[in-house]
Homo-oligomer: A and B are copies of this chain.
Amino acid sequence: MKTLIILAHPNLKNSLANKTIINELIESDLDIEIRNISELYPDFNINVNAEQEALVKADNIVFQFPFYWYNMPSILKQWFDAVFEYQFAYGSEGDKLKGKNFIPSFTVGGSIESYTFSGYNNFPVTDFTKNLEQTSNFAQMHYTKPIFENSMVYLEGIYNVKEEIIERARKQAKRVLKHLLYLQTKSKDKKGTVCT
């Protein structure tokens, strides 16, 4: 199975969590392509054909990003607005993404406790990701429950401990890889089934 990672981080060079996750994913033996869309499109001028071609070739699409203002960063929204076109992602002939796996993997700054009805973020994290879920539905993709870790913001001496963030980032990467392996096994099982 081919996995495409759409990486959306406006400042990966200075990132701790997302950079660690990506480095872990690169080192796996799986067939993974990474498209760093913040780097590819600093002017937000998305090459729709190139993105659609990469999507068509893949079985799994992982969206890797930091949670900004309770959703995806603007470059990723721009990507969806441009790439998920009529007659590509939806419409009478828009079945080019049908059956592919849609896998959100993001890093959340706030703590688990803050994302509760009594916490300062008021809602559980997945209350903020219904737009991802329904985008996946509308494109006839298979939605995976988001893979994320909390407390992923690092401000030296103020917020969180560097080593602990790296540890959580590695844990998150492992969860993504485990899920990709599960999908691969499931896919092989399916192909091996003979319907009589």
Contacts and interface: CB of A to CB of B under 8 A. Distances in A.
A68 interface: yes
B123 A128 contact: no
Given A43-B44, A44-B43, A134 B70 contact: yes
Interface centre among A84, A123, A134 (most CB of B within 10 A): A134
Interface in A76-104: 77-78, 80-81, 84
Nearest to A124: B130
Contacts of A77: 68-69, 71-74, 77
Contact of A74 (B43, B44, B69, B70): B44
B71 A74 contact: no
A83 to B, nearest CB: 10
Given A123-B134, A131-B128, A84 B71 contact: no
Contacts of A127: 130
Nearest to A71: B131
A135 interface: yes
B74 A78 contact: yes
A121 B139 CA distance: 11
B70 A131 contact: yes
Nearest to A155: B86
A137 interface: yes
Contact of A121 (B73, B123, B134): B134
Given A43-B43, A120-B138, 14 more contacts: A68-B77, A68-B81, A69-B80, A69-B81, A71-B77, A73-B77, A73-B81, A74-B74, A74-B75, A74-B77, A121-B138, A122-B137, A127-B130, A128-B134
Interface of A: 10, 43-44, 68-75, 77-78, 80-81, 84, 120-123, 127-128, 130-131, 133-135, 137-138
